[in-house]
Amino acid sequence: MSEAIRTHSAAEFPVRDVSEIIGELTGAFGSSLLSFIMEVDNRSLQRWAVGHGIRYDSEKRVRDLDAVYTLLRQKEEPATIRAWFMGMNPQLDDASPAEAIRDGSARDVMAAARAYLNAA
């Protein structure tokens, strides 16, 4: 017996434009915290928000941050998520999720976010 494998079209999972994501994350985190996470100045964030000058590694970090934010947003308000990103996290060796994303540990932050939601 074979099982039918369902395929998905790109239209079912549209890829959001990075400038749209930057706008949403700036609103949620503020430009100072977002600049810290992305390791750039506010001017770079402003350029990215209008679709200019983002490098692959920065875009990946933006998309990783957005994935964690989107997960947490299922149950938490933006102010709570911002506080969670700024606080020390025992699952991240007491680093903040903001520091961990900045340092390239997005998978660890995602695991910490799932643990946070499961404990709530």
Per-residue pLDDT tens digits for 60-118: 999 999 999 999 999 999 999 999 999 999 999 999 999 999 999 999 999 999 999 99
In a domain? residue 3: no
- Range 8-13 average pLDDT: 52
pLDDT digits (tens, 9 = 90+) for 24-71: 999 999 999 999 999 999 999 999 999 888 899 999 999 999 999 999
In a domain? residue 45: yes
In a domain? residue 11: no
**In whole angstroms, what is the distance from residue 70 CA to residue 26 CA?**
14
**In whole angstroms, what is the distance from residue 56 CA to residue 62 CA?**
10
In a domain? residue 59: yes
pLDDT for 15 equals 77
In a domain? residue 33: yes
Q: How many domains does the chain have?
A: 1
**Domain range spanning residue 21?**
16-119
